[in-house]
Structures are given as structure tokens and as C-alpha cells.
Structure 1
């Protein structure tokens, strides 16, 4: 049902007739706003091409595809005349994700805390040659690690030449700017008409730039960080960046429409006046030069979630925030841009959304991973209105997350909830259900006719631990598969109310549930330790509250 909701929302919002999925619109228009209008922003759709794909780790086929061909694509420059899931876009800074992924394939976590100068030694050489030793004027490159660069925590500047306006024809002296020495004006990499900078020129020029922050102080976005990581990757893998990605990433994952060079004619999406389509950015490719399609990008995200190439431990470490920002709902990873929302967008449990955005001229793109639901989403746009990617992504997320949460609860209710009882007598049972909150709710739990929830309540009252609002089971990520046996471990968390009152607290005791997990044991086994066992079809056979040293069979 939620797929139909997505389709109808897109069709009406874009007001198009050439989408990959287009149900009759006449019955829908009265229920939706006028074409090109949404709660998230308005735009004229004809000029911007859009390609979207949504996939789950549970199946190879897409949950949702949407492709729209903007007007006036430059077919004379080699553009496709119809956008599909295999049509190629420039993905800009999503390239950074591929760079870090390639590092991880080459034991990147082992090098995370090593100085970048171990792999790009010129940085230290040039800093000594051109610097004055001041920590205000010069980056302390010996403190900058591989991981700091990957997680935007290096403190270095954003770019070398890119964004430098000194080479433009503006009359700067009339605006009070001092006249520059010609040697201070970049002659490469500042604009598309200039050639890419050589490694020597780039690094010599960049080490003269002032640091922004001390390393590991606070996140600051840097394209140069990934430019340098590209050099480090080449040193580690002993090959060119292009060959490394082709050999280790694109070919093994069947990303056949992804690459570091301009694709063949007829495959790409080239909007009118998109002069940047075939611009060669040279050694800045690890930061923003990769081409890809919606199908390739969504499959890349799906393979990340599946740990197809990386060890699961590495994937779990990678999909974590490494720094907070000034926004309560936004953190930074390596190089993830991580948003926190709620399962019903404004209410419900917290959901972490891992994204990487990318923009290059007329192209604006986004890769989204939602680990809680094991969902990968790619959104690629090309045209004069790059902000369309924001509108589309908001529509997808605000529609998809509540639907996925509802679907997950329905699946949990179907498979996991119900009454479990002992086959050996003794009047022992546990009853599980779901509600609007997170996890599985323990409605009742008895052992040998004793009410264990009441026992837990009395224990908390006696020890000043508060009152039990609910007891909930949560998955731990621990699974085991043996012959005719599939097990998954869960832990119980007690939702407690402690001190009364509505005055806001900084030290809110309700957020400390994580401290109480595995805290109380009985005979060296925690009271919150539960294991489900499934048959070969995935149906639950029984649950084991391990503190009771017994199993309860699902009725």
C-alpha cells in the first residue's frame, strides 16, 4: 500500500505523463495539490530530470522506481532522450563515499588513527618548506589522521583553488580588495575553463592555506580531505584511483554504469547548457568526479547494508556518527551526513537516516540508507533547479518511514507476538504484543504461577528504582544459524518512571535505560536475556527466557 502512496504522490506532484509508473491521474488530482506544488517546495518540473530507486536488503527487485525525463535534454552532446534507472548522472560528492569504501576494503580501519603523512609525505615536506611554524597559520599535518579526513574532522580548509574568485573579471579594487600578486592567483582547478591541478601544484598551494579548526575539534566540510585520501588510497593499494575502483568496487558489485570517466554517448543525462558534463577534474575525482545511475547507486547502498564485501563488524563501525553538530538532529560520519527523525516523523521512536549528498553544476543527488529498515534509496536529478532533490527526498522519507514502521510492526505481530507456554507444566508463560511504541511489549510473564513483572516492580520499589511503565524486547543483532536451528537474541529493556514532575531536565533519567541492560543477573545469567528460535521457514518455534533455564513454545 505504501508503494502506491509513493507513486500517486510523485505523479501528482510532478504532473507528468512519461514516468515509469503512471496510474490514471483523473481520480487523484482532487486529493492532491496543484501540479508542481507540495508542502516541501514548488517547482516547474519540465526542466529537471529525476531518477529514483528504492531497494530493500530482503529482495533484489526494487520496491519503487520513478524516472522522469526533463525537457530539452542535450542529445546533440550525447544525452539520452529518455531517463531510466540505468541513465548516468554526475553524482558529485557522493564520490566521497566510494573513496572511503575503497579505503575500508584495503583495511582502512586499521589505518584510521595513522597520520596521513604516512601515505602522502609531501604534505609534511611542503609544510616545512612554506610554513612559518605557527599553529594559527599552518595545519599541523602530523596530527591529521586518515580517519579525521574521512570524517570531516581534520580541521583543514574546504578547497585549494575551487571557489577562489580572484581569477574572475570583477573589479575587486573598486570594492576595496587589495591588488594581488599574480603568483597568488590560482591558474588551475578554480573554474571549469582551467585545467586540473597537478599533484605537486595542488599540495603546495593547499599547505599555504590557513587551518579552519584544530584537528578533531569540530566537523568542517572539506573537499580537499578526500582529494588527499585519493592519494593515500593509491599509495596503500599500489594502483591508480581509477583502477582501484574498477577492480575492487564497480566490477565486483556489478555497478556497470558507474565510473570515473565520461560515459559513452546516449547513456548520460545532459540538461540544456550543462557544460560540466564532461569536465575532467583530474585528481579531485575522489572528492566529486564519479558518474553513476540510480540503479547502480541504490545497489551500492544495498551492498553496504548487506556487508557484501566488508566484514559485518566493519560495516557496523562505519555506520555510526563520529561527531555532532550544532543541530540536535544532525551528526557527521565518514563521510555520512546523518539525520535523526521519528518513526512517524514527529512522534514515535528515533530513526537514524544515513545520507550522502552530492552536487556538481546542474546535478544534485542523494544516497540514503536507513539501517533500521535495511532500505537503500537513490535520488538523482539533473536540470536548472537543483533544489528539486530536497523536495523529492522529503516526500519519499516522510511517506516511506511511517509506512515501513507500520509494516515492520505488522510483520512482528504476525511472526513474534502471541502466547508462549511451557510444555512441561508449571504454569509458565509469556505473552508478547506490539503497540505504538518501539520493540515487543511483554504483556505478561509468569514462572511456576509467579508474576515476574510484579516481582520486578516490587524489586524496583524496594531499591528506589522507580515504577515499570512497560517491559520491551529489542533485537541485539546477535544471530546464530546451525543445522535445523536459527536463533536470534533479544534483550529486555524496562521503561521506568522515576521522579514525578514536568519541569524539563538536562539530566533526564528516562534516557539512561542503556545503563541498566545486563545489570541484574540470577546465577550468572541476566534477567533481560531472551532468545527466539525459528524453523527453516522463519516461523517462531519457541522463546527462551534464559534466566529461567527453560523454553516456552508458541501457542
Structure 2
């Protein structure tokens, strides 16, 4: 009941100060898709125009590249062909590798590899991300015998670390061992002490040194002090955490991690050009005289050893969004959730997702989330991204060092940002047009004198232009509907309703919810300036399902669809009326 009172108080304040519920252009949609994702985006002129603009931008970038290759794919899970398929082959390249770059060219994907050990854990029956890692790898406890001192500064609280903490960078353990500088030169000019030869690691996998294997990990990783306590506020990126997850999979399955991933994930998805170890050189792009194509990671393989292609990673992303990985739809939705924070307000962390929250990519300025994983191994740069709101998969692979004539450098994440910035508005317009055909227009029931009209404008979802039930104007009378003795006072600001889809649906029915908002967007600062948290008045998450009548929600609308996926009627659940679709948009 307390939350109900809080939201009522906010509503009263909103009316008093003449501000809206919303913080973005007068709208506050629920987080997630505001319309169904388009299923035929490639046929949209808006998409074609935005794709052409993006490809022109990429041509301008790559025209300055002499040694660097690029491959990009953007695909909707509802179509067979790519929305964007771009490849650039530089004039200079190593004779060992592929001489023409396309969507089948193999690249090192570096830390994007981290997705696969996490998925392997999720696919193990009876294993939970809440399980302590020492349940499966008890030898981790002995690492603290190597610590400088036996206290919290120098020893890791292994018994407190769960599989989920490792997967989401919340274990607080050290990043790695392999990039230790001591084997690679004299660093005393930088203030470091002379090297103790007896403490040299002696392995790396880089620059001719042998790789560090599992034995080395358990002999030396305990010398690394913890960075944070487990589950501290800030995530601490750790390659070693994913090596440990690999140990967990091997302990449970009695199989190598590579064998498990190849058999249980890649093979069922026909990812035939994805490899856990270096494939034939001719399959991949290799920059001239590059040494990183061959670099090995040893015990750290689970954190970054995979080689793959645009086509294979796109196929993998489609399987995630289609729930085809052997996980239930609910398990997949749970996997695509943030688990920890960072010091960036725009970046959250999942398992192992790097979740970018952006508000400058859609035409209505609303918040959307990109579930990504990036990877960098010196010359190899990649980013894999899911955009669930639109059922899109994006993969970007770049290889090459900084070009002398390219001040902007090479950054796969920059290309992802430009891809989303330029192409997403076109996809959004395609979705608006399809949604208008499928749901827009007027629904009516003559027997009860009820009707509702849904229209498109520049805001998210549908605008409820008019709403009459049993002869009563819902929009005009809504503010008087209250169980409180003193209802919200009349206001000169307009009351508006918008309609958004939910994730709840069957084969021929979809569930939607309406959201009311008071006031004009330009008035929002009057109240927001009194509050410390940004966008405090955007409380749709607490507004849904508030008003009920005979336990049925006033904001609940259920559409019935025909075989073409077009609405034929809508039930206003709380009002116990069903309306037939009478008029559709022109």
C-alpha cells in the first residue's frame, strides 16, 4: 500500500506543478520495445536510405586504411538477408591469410569469447550461478597459501565467490597473470625495482614465450592480491574469472571446455567457421607480419581464444533472441539482465554482457539497451551486440594497428555507435509503419457505445487519440477516478494516454498496457530540479497495473490477431468490453 500512496503523491505533485510523468519529450515508456519489432525492415525505404548513409560513412573511414580490414553485419532475426553487410579488404595484407574479406572471413574475436563459457555454465543442469565456485574447484582455497600475508588485503575470499560473480566481474579478483611486464624488458627506468629472477613467471604465450598453463595458474595466481571484496559496488574486469569458469565446466562434465562448447553450442548452430584454436591461416585475415594471429592464451583460453566470422556470430545472436540455445525463454531473458554497475552511468555489466544504455539513438529520445561484448587483442578488435527491442544482431570485426593517416584510429565500438546512430532510426520507422498496419485505427462496439482510436505520432508506442467506454470519455474523466477522499484537482494541462506492448503473448493474442501522463514536457524541470536523481518523475515501472476493477486492470488491453498478424479486435479487460476493428490507417 505504501508504494501506492507514493505514486499518488507524485501524481498530485505533478498536477500541482503542472509537469508530466515523463522525462523524455513528455513521454515515459516502459523499458523495452515500445512497438513490435519490424519483420520486413529490409523493404522499408527509410531503412534503405539509412543503410546507404552508413555504408557511405564506412567507405570514407576505410578509404584511409592501408593495412586494416573491416567486416560488419546487422541482421533482423525475422529476415534471411542482412540489413547491413559490409566488408573492406586493405591493399596491404599478409600472404598467409585470406586475400579478400567478406562475412565468411575468420577473425580473432578476443574477449567476445567470454560469452561461451558463461553459456556453457547456463546449459549445465543442476548448476546455478548462485553456487560457490569452491563447490566445483576447491583447490582455489589453497591459492591463499601463496599470499604475502593471511589477511583480507592479500587473500581472496574464495568461499564467498559464486559462479555468477565470476561471470559478471563481481568476484573482485585480479585481472590476469599473463601480461606481466617482467619478461619483456628492463622497466627500472620507470621506477620499478630490479627483477627477482627467481620470481619470473616465465610464460605468457606472447613474443615467443610459452603459454601459461593450468599448473602455472595454481602455482602462482595466489600471489595476486584481491582488487575488491566479492560483490563490491563496482565491477572489476577479470580475464582470470573466465579461466576459472572453464575449470568449473571441466570439473562438472569431465570434458575439456573447448570440446563442450564445440559439441553443445557451435555444432548444433552450424557454426562451422568458429574455432577454439587457430584455424588454417588461409581462412582468416592477417595483417602484414602480424604476430597476434598465432598468440596463445594457455589457461586463459576461455577469456579470449575464439576465432569466428560475421556469419557465425550472427547465427549465434539469432539463436539467443529466438531462444534456440537449449535455454528456456525465461532463462534467456534472465541471462540478458544487468548484474552489476560501473562508474559510467551509461554502462552496466551482465554475465558477461557490457550493457550500454543510450538515449540518443531513437527519434523519441527514449532509453534503450544494447547487450554487447567487446574484445581486443592488440591488433584484433571486435564487438558483438544484441538489440532486443528491435530483434537485431550486430557484429563488427576490425583488424589492424593504428593507421598513420587515420587520426581517429580503429575502434569496433565506434563503428557500432555509428551503425546504431544511423540505421536504427530507419528500422524504427519501419516498425512504426508495420505496427500501424497491424494495430492502428479505430475499434468499436455499438452495443455498449464503446470505441478506442490508436494513432501514430512522434512519440513512442501508440497515442490513444480517443477512448469511450459505455458512453463515458475515459480520458476526460480519468483524473476524477480515485479511491482517495480528495482526488487529484483539475488541471489545465492535458491528460494523455499511450499504449505499449508487453512481453506477454500467445500465437494469436498480444497483451498491451496503457500509460497515462499529465502535462507538457517543457514543464518537467520545475519538479525535476527539486530532485537529485535524474528523471525521477519517469515512474512508468510503478504505474503499470495500478487501477483495477473486480481485480482486472484498467490499463490492460488484449488484441486478437488474424493469420497475417493484424488485429481484428481488442478487449478492454478492466471494462469488460470487446471492440471490433472498424477503421485502419490509410
* Structure 1 and Structure 2 fold alike (TM over 0.5): yes
Q: What is the deviation of 1:391?
A: 3.5
Tell me if 1:439 matches 2:455: no
**Relative to 1, partners in 2 of residues 1:503 and 1:389: Cα closer, same or farther, differing over 3 Å?**
closer
Quote the residue 1:208 is aligned against: 223
For residues 29-48 of structure 1, what are the alpha-carbon distances to aligned partners after superposition, in whole Å with 9 as ceiling and x for unaligned? xxxxxx449xxxxx822321
For the residue of structure 2 that corresponds to 1:536, the secondary structure is coil
Once residues 440 and 4 of structure 1 are traced to their aligned partners in structure 2, the CA distance between those partners, rounded to angstroms, is 24
Structure 1 position 64 matched with structure 2 position 84? yes
Q: CA deviation at 1:540?
A: 0.8
Alpha-carbon separation, structure 2, partners of 1:251 and 1:455: 59
Taking the aligned partners of 2:208 and 2:524, their CA distance within structure 1 comes to: 66
Residue of structure 2 in register with 1:197 after alignment: 212
Partners of 1:402 and 1:456 in 2: how far apart? 34
Is residue 2:155 matched to residue 1:141?
Answer: no
Residues 16-415 of structure 1: pairs in structure 2 closer than 5 A:
35-36=60-61, 44-75=64-95, 77=96, 79-107=97-125, 110-128=127-145, 130=147, 132-162=149-179, 164-172=180-188, 174-189=189-204, 191-217=206-232, 218-309=234-325, 310-342=327-359, 344=361, 348-385=365-402, 387-415=410-438
Decide whether aligned partners of structure 1 residues 477 and 14 sit closer, same or farther in structure 2, where only a CA change above 3 A counts: closer
After superposition, the C-alpha distances for 1:124-159 in whole angstroms (9 at most, x for unaligned) are 122246563211111110111100010011111111
Contact 2:545 2:554 in 1 (8 A): yes
How many residues get paired? 521
Aligned alpha-carbon RMSD (Å): 2.3
Mark the CA change 1:271 to 1:144 in structure 2 (over 3 Å): closer, same or farther: same
Whole-Å Cα distance in 2 between the matches of residues 355 and 289 of structure 1?
18
**Contact 1:343 1:402 (C-alpha < 8 Å) held by counterparts:** no
| Structure 1: stretches of 5+ with no match in the other structure | 16-34, 38-42
User: 1:34-89, CA deviations, whole angstroms, 9 ceiling, x for partnerless residues?
Assistant: x449xxxxx822321111111111123222211111222212x2x11111111100
**1:477–1:456 Cα change, 3 Å:** same
- Summarize deviations over 1:315-353 as a string: whole Å, max 9, x none: 111111112222221111111111111264585211111
Kindly state the Cα deviation for residue 359 of structure 1 after the two structures are TM-superposed: 1.1
- After superposition, the Cα gap between the structure-2 partners of 1:55 and 1:216, relative to the gap in structure 1 and judged at 3 Å, is same
Would the aligned equivalents of 1:319 and 1:333 in 2 still touch at CA under 8 Å? yes
Correspondence for 1:511 among 538, 541, 545: 538
* Between 58-67 and 222-231, the greater mean CA deviation after superposition: 58-67
2:363–2:425 Cα contact (<8 Å) kept: no
TM-superposed CA distance for 1:515, in Å, is 1.4
Tell me, yes or no, if the aligned pair for 2:147 and 2:224 is still in contact at 8 Å: no
Conserved? CA contact 1:192–1:276, under 8 Å: no
Q: Which has the higher contact order (CA 8 A, sep 6+)?
A: 2
| Change over 3 Å in CA distance of 1:6–1:266 after alignment to 2 | farther
- Kept in 1, the 8 Å contact 2:54–2:422? The answer is no
Partner residue in 2 for 1:490: 512
Shift of 1:209: 0.4
Tell me by how many angstroms 1:366 deviates: 0.7
Which residue of 1 is the match for residue 506 of structure 2? 480
* Shift of residue 2, structure 1, vs aligned partner: 4.4
Distance 1:353 1:168, change over 3 A: same
Verify the 8 A CA contact 2:147 2:225 in the aligned structure 1.
Answer: no
1:141-185 Cα offsets, whole Å, 9 max, x none, are 0111100010011111111132x112222251x443222322322
Contact 1:496/1:510 (<8 A) preserved? no
Q: Which residues of structure 2 form unaligned runs of 5+? A: 1-44, 403-408
For residue 526 of structure 2, what is the aligned residue in structure 1? 501
Distance 2:553 2:206 in 1: 62
Query: CA separation in 1, counterparts of 2:328 and 2:471?
Result: 45
Aligned CA distance change for structure 1 residues 324 and 388 (closer, same or farther; 3 Å): closer
Give TM-score scaled by structure 1 length: 0.89
Helix, strand or coil: the match of 2:192? coil
Separation in 2, partners of 1:490, 1:345: 21
- Give the secondary structure class of the aligned counterpart of 1:93: helix
Structure 1's 94 and 499: CA in aligned 2 closer, same or farther, altered over 3 A? closer
**Which of 426, 434, 437 pairs up with 2:448?**
426
Deviation for aligned residue 1:545: 0.6
**Take 1:176 and 1:394, find their aligned partners in 2: how far apart are those partners?**
39
Q: Given that residues 105 and 285 in structure 2 are in contact (C-alpha distance below 8 angstroms), is that contact kept between their aligned partners in structure 1?
A: yes
Secondary structure of the 2:560 match is: strand
Match of 1:8? 52
Shift in CA distance, 550/438, structure 1 to aligned 2, threshold 3 Å: same
**SS of structure 2 residue aligned to 1:100:** helix
Distance 1:429 1:282, change over 3 A: same
Q: Does 1:416 align with 2:439?
A: yes
CA deviation digits over 1:507-541, x for unaligned, max 9? 55522222121121101111111101101111111
Q: 3-state SS of the aligned residue for 2:66?
A: helix
Deviates most, 227-236 or 465-474 = 465-474
Write the deviation string for residues 492-515 of structure 1: whole angstroms up to 9, x where unpaired: 122235998255122555222221
Give the 3-state SS of the residue equivalent to 2:236 in structure 1.
Answer: coil
What is the distance in 2 between the residues matched to 1:129 and 1:208?
A: 5
* TM-aligned CA distance change 1:129 to 1:375, over 3 Å: same
Q: Which moved more, 1:347-356 or 1:365-374?
A: 347-356
- For residues 468 and 154 of structure 1, the distance between their equivalents in structure 2, rounded to whole angstroms, comes to 50
Q: Secondary structure at the match of 2:390?
A: coil
Q: Does structure 1 retain, via aligned residues, the 8 Å contact 2:442–2:581?
A: yes
Q: Are the aligned partners of 1:262 and 1:277 in contact in 2 as well (CA < 8 Å)? A: yes
**Equivalent residue for 1:538, pick from 565, 572, 583:** 565
